[in-house]
Amino acid sequence: MKRLQVTINLDMDIPDEWTLIDHPDGVPVLTLADGRYMYMSFLPMFTKELQPESNWTSECSAKFAEEVVDMVQDEEVEMKIISN
């Protein structure tokens, strides 16, 4: 088995109403204006074509999605809000 390391760094402009809090599980989550909470993590994307205009989707079987998640050995997520 090989090890794949993926580093994702997002810089997003978000609404002023969104705030960052710690979930009781200890992970940082965003509170959205409509009362929902959002956690940021990876989302596998798939296509059957290797063309510049390929259509990508996150749709896959639940079984395959579980297999991919089970392959994750460690995940580090850091979120911080920087005021302008």
Instruction: For CA atoms 14, 34, 26, 4, give the dihedral sign.
Output: negative
pLDDT at 72: 92
Phi/psi at 68 (nearest 5 deg)?
A: -65, -45
What number of other Cβ atoms are within 10 A of residue 32's Cβ?
14
pTM for this structure? 0.68
For residue range 18-58, list pLDDT tens digits in order.
Answer: 999 999 888 899 999 999 999 988 888 899 988 888 899 99
Chain-wide mean pLDDT for the chain? 90
Q: What pLDDT is stored for residue 4 in this prediction?
A: 92
pLDDT at 53: 86
Domain locations in the chain as residue ranges: 1-84
Q: Are 44 and 68 in contact (CB under 8 A)?
A: yes
Q: What amino acid is encoded at 10 in this protein? A: L
Q: How far apart are CA 42 and CA 6, in angstroms?
A: 9
